[in-house]
Amino acid sequence: MRVDDVEHRVSYDPGESTTGLFGGNSNWRGPVWMPVNYLIIELPQRFGHYFGKDFRVECPRGSGRMMDLAGVAAELSRRLAHLFTRDEHGRRPIYGQNQKLQNDPHFRDHVLFDEYFHGDTGAGVGASHQTGWTALVAKLLQQSGM
Domain ranges of the chain: 29-144
pTM of this prediction? 0.78
pLDDT in tens, 14-28: 777 777 766 665 555
Paired strand residues for 103: none
Distance between the two ends of the chain, CA-based, in angstroms?
46
pLDDT in tens, 99-136: 999 999 999 999 888 888 898 999 998 888 767 778 88
Distance, CA of 141 to CA of 52 (rounded, Å): 23
- Cα-based distances in Å from 123 to 4, 68, 98: 39, 30, 9
